[in-house]
Each structure stands twice: as structure tokens, then as C-alpha cells.
Amino acid sequence: MFGSRFKLHASGAAWSLLRCACNFATALGVITFRVACNRHDGRLVAQRRSCFKWFSMLLRMLISYLYCHFYASFVIVLPNTHFRLIVGVRMLCSLICALVILALQVRHEEQAIALLNSFLRLFRRVQALPGCQDMCFGGRRELILLLLVVLCQVYQCCYLLPTLIEDFDILFTFTIALETYCSLSAALISNICFVGYLSVGVLYGQMNCYVRTQLRQQLEQLTTAASRRERRAASQRLDECLAIYEEIRRVCSDFQRLFDLPLCLVLVFGFLTMALVSFFIVLNQFNGISTWVLEAKLLLELLLLTLSIQGAINSSRVVRRLSLENYYCTDSKEWHQQLEMFLTRLNYGELRVRPLGLFDVSNELILLFLSALVTYLTYIIQYGMQSIQL
């Protein structure tokens, strides 16, 4: 009892974190539409805000220009060449992400609003199922992942505060404020991809739980002497479950098409920045706590993104393991045929995340990158040791 109650509290806390994250993204101008309750039926929907959209776009272009002007002059005067390269790549990544945000707001705002409304509609349909009324957004796993994302964002906001307090300068403070705004906006693209695939995993997980427990228990209570009304109700539940599964698959496909390029850029920039920071750590002979913390934060962000994607993939595969042998409901051949059609249609369309068709995103991608990075750094260390001996 206490476990289920804690799961409900974790689900509600995760939903509250999502609402706060949406407000934070709106404050930064990444999300330019309103997410509020509809006046007619009280349902949560996304609505356009044209004036706020154009204001956010103009503000982003102005801040990006100022960021490029002031931060470039700051990068040029850095004494360390490798550190200059890291900061320069970071600035380039932030500017490219700003262009991606502007492109999404200009050309794909309607698709983004329709996609978010589809997600909200799916959650309402799942919560309308028996036994799912109290679920908000996943459970403990989703809450822990969201808290780790919040921790990364807090670090992004505060990691330069000691430097500002120690050497206060108005121009330097203004430059850091611009850099923080642009880097947080760029990180929100990764967070949107994270939340999108996390939502897909939550929807699949709640549906799988309902099919394995509630629906299975209802179908097992059917007998050959069941009335026509009971059979019709069971058939409608099967059709509703199948319709929800197909809607999840469609919404996930729309989300992949919309955020395919941003996801690819996030992963490429994340791996590139990690490699540059690791190279800088090796050159400094593994000194400097701040660079180690930065490396851990970059790894954590990539790991959280791949974990959300891997969770969605695993949840989409769970329902494929059902079969007539472990899903017995009645001796009726008609029901066997209907249930077999239901289980067969669930096996259509395997979820795969391949940004621009270049590579599959999973937990193995992180391991592959880390193994390549360790091999590269080991070669650099050995080369440096041989150069010293010569």
C-alpha cells in the first residue's frame, strides 16, 4: 500500500516539475505558446500567442547578436589555446541552437502545438482507463530523471557565480549573463527531446501495465456463458487499447520527424564538447576540479537523454511479448481470433530512434563513445610520455 501511495506522490511531483519546466522554458522564450486549461471543458491545452512569439524571436536575435559580439572578444583574449577552443565550440553550439529554435518557432509552431495537444489528449485517454485515474506522470524513475535534469540546469545557472563574486566587472557580468541565457536555451532543446521520449515511455508503460493487469483480469472473468453486453464491453476495451497504442505510435513518429535534426545536433555537440573537455583535462595533467565537474555534467546530460530514449524503446517492446499462451481468457474460438488480431496488430511498427538515419540512439551509444574516448586519451598520454623521454 505504501509503495503504491509513494508511486502516486512521485507521479504527481513529476507532473509538477514538468509544469515548472514549461514555465521556465516560456520565460526563456523557447516555448512561445500558452499551456493552460480550456475555458469550456477545463482540459489542459496548448494555445497560440502570436505577440509573445514575435517578441521572443526578436529578443533572441538581439541577445544572440550581443552574445556573439561580446563573448567573441572574451574568447580571443583567453591565454590558453585549448581552453579557447572549448569556449569557442560552446559558443558556436549555442548560436546554432538559437537558429534551430528560431526555425522551429517560425516554420513549425503549429506542428509543435498540435503535437503537444496530442500528448495531452493521450494522457487523458490513458487516465480515463480503469485503474489509471490517479496516475499523473510515471513514477519514481521519471521523478529521479527529472530531478537530475533540474540539477544540471541549476549548475548551468550557478557555476560562474564564484568567478563573478571574486572579480566583479559590469561588462564581464553582462557577458556571462548573455552566455547563461544562450546556453540554457540550447540545453532546453536537449531537455525537450528528453521530456518527449520520457513521455512516450510513460504512455507505453501505463498502457502495458493496464493490459497486463486490469484488462487481463477483466478478460479472464469472461466465460462461454457471458452475455452479449459483457462481450461487447470487452471488445470495446480491446479496441480502445489498440487505438491508444496506435495513437502513441503516431505521436511518437510525429515527434521524431519534428525533432530529428535538433536531437542529432544535441548529441553531436554533446559528444564533441565532452571530447574537448577531456582533452583539456589530460593536458592539465588531471588537475582542476571545475573541469571534472563540467565533464561529469556533460556526461550526465547525455546519459539522461539516452536513458529516456532507451526507456521508451524498452516500453514499446514489452507489449510485443504477449501471446495467446500467457493471455488466456476463454475457450471461445471467436474470442481467440479477436485477441490474436489484437496482439498481432500490436507488433506492427518497432520504435527506433535514428537521428537523420545516421546512428541508433541507445545506452550502447554512450558506451561506444566512452570506449573510443578512453582509447583516444590513452594514445595521447602515451605519446606525451614518449615525447618527454625523447
CA distances from 220 to 52, 328, 345, 356 (A): 54, 7, 21, 44
| pLDDT of 168 strictly over 50 | yes
Q: What is the mean pLDDT of the chain?
A: 78
Compute the residue count for the chain. Answer: 390
| pLDDT of 2 strictly over 60 | no
Q: What φ, ψ does residue 361 adopt, rounded to 5°?
A: -95, 120
User: Cβ(190)–Cβ(301) under 8 Å?
Assistant: yes
| pLDDT of 387 strictly over 70 | no
Q: How many domains does the chain have?
A: 1
Q: What is the mean pLDDT of residues 308-323?
A: 78
Could you give the CA distance from residue 151 to residue 153 in angstroms, rounded to a whole number?
5
Comparing CA positions, the residue from 113, 341, 346, 137 lying closest to residue 244 is: 346
283: left (phi over 0), alpha (psi -120 to 50) or beta: alpha
CA distances from 321 to 129, 146, 343 (A): 22, 29, 9
| pLDDT of 331 strictly over 60 | no
The percent of residues above 90 in pLDDT, for the chain, comes to 1
Could you give the CA distance from residue 364 to residue 58 in angstroms, rounded to a whole number?
40
**Residue 240 CB contacts under 8 Å (≥ 6 apart), including other chains:** 125, 129
Enclosing domain of residue 86: 2-389
Q: What is the mean pLDDT of residues 271-275?
A: 80
Q: What φ, ψ does residue 129 adopt, rounded to 5°?
A: -75, 150
The percent of residues above 70 in pLDDT, for the chain, comes to 78
Letter string b/e over residues 259-289, b meaning 16 or more CB atoms within 10 A of that residue's CB: bbebbbbbbebbbebbbbbbbbbbeeeeeee
The confidence score (pLDDT) of residue 182 equals 86
pLDDT band at 281 (very low <50, low <70, confident <90, very high): confident
- The per-residue pLDDT for range 318-330, each reduced to its tens digit, is 776 665 444 555 5
The confidence score (pLDDT) of residue 249 equals 86
Q: What is the mean pLDDT of residues 162-174?
A: 75
The confidence score (pLDDT) of residue 346 equals 66
Q: DSSP assignment, residue 259?
A: S
- The per-residue pLDDT for range 210-255, each reduced to its tens digit, is 777 777 777 666 655 566 676 677 777 777 878 888 888 888 888 9
User: Cβ(340)–Cβ(374) under 8 Å?
Assistant: no
Could you give the CA distance from residue 339 to residue 325 in angstroms, rounded to a whole number?
11
Q: What is the mean pLDDT of residues 100-127?
A: 87
- The per-residue pLDDT for range 31-87, each reduced to its tens digit, is 888 887 777 766 778 888 888 888 988 998 998 888 888 877 777 766 667 667 777
The confidence score (pLDDT) of residue 325 equals 46
- The per-residue pLDDT for range 80-110, each reduced to its tens digit, is 676 677 777 778 888 888 888 888 888 888 8
294 or 130: which leads in pLDDT = 294
Cell numbers standing for residue 362: 541507445
- The per-residue pLDDT for range 345-378, each reduced to its tens digit, is 666 667 788 888 888 888 888 888 888 878 877 7
Alpha helices for the chain (secondary structure H): 2-27, 50-76, 81-107, 109-127, 140-158, 161-166, 170-209, 216-220, 228-258, 260-283, 289-318, 333-346, 363-389
**Residue 125 CB contacts under 8 Å (≥ 6 apart), including other chains:** 240, 244, 247
